[in-house]
Amino acid sequence: MKYIKLLISSLIVILMVSSCQEDLLEKYPLDQVSEGDFLLKTRDHEIYMNQFYNWNLLKTGKYQSGGTLYELDINSDNIIGANGLDDRLKGVRVPQSNNSDWNRYYMFVRSINFYFDNYEKCVDPYDEYREYLGEAYFFRALIYYQLMQRFGDVVWFDHQLDSNSPELYEKRTPRNEVADHIIADLDEAIKHLPATKRKDGLRIDKWIALGFKSKVALYEGTWEKYHAGTAFGVSGADPDKYLKIAAEAAKNVIDSRIYSLYSTGDINNDYYQLHIQKDYSSSKEIMFWKKFNKELNIYNKRMYTNIYPMGYGLTKSLVDAFLCTDGKPILVSPLFSESDFGNLENEAKNRDPRFYQTIWTQQAPWKTDNGETTSWDNGIYSKLYSSSKYSSATAYVRRKGYDHDVTTHSTSGEETPAIMMRYPEILLNYAEAKAEMGTITQGDIDISIKPIRDRVGMPNIKLSDIAVDPNWHYPDLSPIINEIRRERRIELNNEALRWYDIARWAAADELIIGKRPKGFKIGDQFPKNRYPVDSEGFLDPYQSSLGDAGYGFKEGRDYLDFIGIEQITLNPKLGQNPGWE
């Protein structure tokens, strides 16, 4: 009875652990708490909401302890790692008796619904606790959004259940209805939350909720549009309904004029510097972030691995997506030649400045264990496939998020914060929603894409003059959609967003299926028989394990996760997701 036991287990005993957020560390004395006397005061509401700032919940559907977001794109076409490929991409996942993530999410659901069933007991005035009520609506939306991303149709509960509740045995709620509930919750959150920054961006405010609303609606709108007619299609689909909501929510954030991109005018350094700052309290770009504090034993456990590649490597697919400084793709621009492959400095030359702020080149400093400065140069190849911590599967090493100041590094963890939401994502949500509806104008581009490109000195997109790229991933779609998707990939690379973009676009057939991730081109000065390379000399690290068939992603199955067999046994009405039967 694991599913029911988890769902109806004692909330107060299990889930009153706070989130370990900088100044959100107070723990309520559990032996003094009962349903009858809790949530009576505003302070109780604050303490109760602290648990939902839990790292495991905030991170995009990943239950891991601590860490940065910079390695999570390993489940996409942006990065590969040292320990093999993602099972979803390979198509080798098998349904298990129990899906523990499903259980964890519903523990959060029960916890948040306890609050909704009891918050009105508060004896303090509404104006004193309203912001925590707003947080509750936001977090229920967040929990269900992640459930919807992972499982599609899910069971919507809006109140606390017990062992006799008939809802425990109901069928799943269709995903578009879930999306409507999520958006309604976010509207309530927006109504109750203050319009000013809270706790320096460490707590949810109205604008974060609006930005998240644009994210949810864009996800559902594009999912319904691109999965239409497939096993994942939605009955009664109305993509434009959600795309309109996404555009309006994002535009509200833009029109607030509260946010802007971090820029000192240094186009060659600002994007890099943004991602290594240690405090975003006064940032106008970082809307929501997670703070770590070593003294309080809440630290970023995995940032230390950023000192070394540790086998991780950016893919050639991502690297090739960077435009040249004239705003044209590498196969079109006169600023790039095929002969530039095989020389990292030549590849970086005349490219979007985010290229060398994302990817290591010889220009960038590199600190060794003893603090000596070295360069990341072609010497990496001597260690490519060794057990060395300096190894990289593709020889394209991520620089983004790495601070070469070794005084910030520690084997036990450190304080580099995690960015949970930043303004450029909202700008890109707006541009994409408008483009998907077919209503985008040059004015829309000027308030969304242009600021992002201005920071790095790149030309703006001109609707009337978009260069055709022979390598567009989506040749059947409009040029503007192709270029907005490219911009999203470049600006938000390695921020744990790429897989969910691929999923909502139903783009595995263009990006994943039958492909192998490639890397840097090995020059003539390196013996090709030493490294796995393709016929053109590009590193092909999974040549033997994937073979000619490439990724085995199952298009009719792997866009969603399986429902655990035990969960279905307990409630047969849940059914199974497509392809997992």
pLDDT in tens, 223-248: 999 999 999 999 999 999 999 999 99
Distance CA 314, CA 394 (A): 6
Grade residue 302 by pLDDT with cuts at 50, 70 and 90: low
At 378-426, the pLDDT tens digits run 445 445 555 567 678 888 988 898 877 766 666 666 677 888 999 999 9
Average pLDDT over residues 310-314: 83
Question: When comparing pLDDT for 174 and 372, which is higher?
Answer: 174
Average pLDDT over residues 293-300: 68
Distance CA 112, CA 336 (A): 54
Which domains are assigned to the chain? 2-67+98-193 (1.25.40.890)
Q: Would you tell me the crossing angle of helices 42-50 and 126-151 to the nearest 10 degrees?
A: 20
Of 76-80, 106-110, 349-353, 397-401, give the lowest mean pLDDT range: 397-401
Local structure of residue 203 (DSSP, 8 states): B
Within 294-398, strands assigned E span 313-314, 365-367, 373-375
**What pTM was computed for the model?**
0.92
Yes or no: say if 321 and 472 are a contact pair by the CB < 8 Å rule: no
Average pLDDT over residues 529-557: 91
| Adjacent-strand bridge partners of 76 | none
Task: State the amino acid at position 548 in one-letter form.
Answer: D
Of 290-294, 385-389, 400-404, 532-536, give the lowest mean pLDDT range: 385-389
Average pLDDT over residues 535-564: 94
Task: Give the pLDDT confidence score for residue 303 in this predicted structure.
Answer: 46
**Please, how many CA atoms are within 13 Å of residue 27, restricted to the half-sphere of its CB?**
12
Strands 313-314 and 373-375: unpaired
Structure tokens at 300: 């970023």
Strands 365-367 and 373-375: antiparallel
Yes or no: say if 344 and 361 are a contact pair by the CB < 8 Å rule: yes
Return all residues near 438 (Cβ < 8 A) that are at least 6 apart.
Answer: none
Task: Give the pLDDT confidence score for residue 307 in this predicted structure.
Answer: 59
First to last CA, the chain: 21
**Please, how many CA atoms are within 13 Å of residue 302, restricted to the half-sphere of its CB?**
13
Task: Give the pLDDT confidence score for residue 526 in this predicted structure.
Answer: 62
Return all residues near 93 (Cβ < 8 A) that are at least 6 apart.
Answer: 87, 558, 562
Q: Specify the length of the chain in residues.
A: 581
Percent of the chain, pLDDT > 70? 81
Yes or no: say if 99 and 561 are a contact pair by the CB < 8 Å rule: yes
Yes or no: say if 415 and 373 are a contact pair by the CB < 8 Å rule: no
Task: Give the pLDDT confidence score for residue 26 in this predicted structure.
Answer: 34
Yes or no: say if 289 and 417 are a contact pair by the CB < 8 Å rule: yes
Q: Does 1 score more than 70 pLDDT?
A: no
Which residue, among 486, 459, 460, has the nearest Cα to 471 in the 3D structure?
486
At 322-341, the pLDDT tens digits run 999 999 999 999 999 999 99
Question: For the chain, what is the mean pLDDT?
Answer: 86
Yes or no: say if 507 and 476 are a contact pair by the CB < 8 Å rule: no
Q: Does 312 score more than 70 pLDDT?
A: yes
Question: When comparing pLDDT for 445 and 86, which is higher?
Answer: 445
| Adjacent-strand bridge partners of 551 | 513
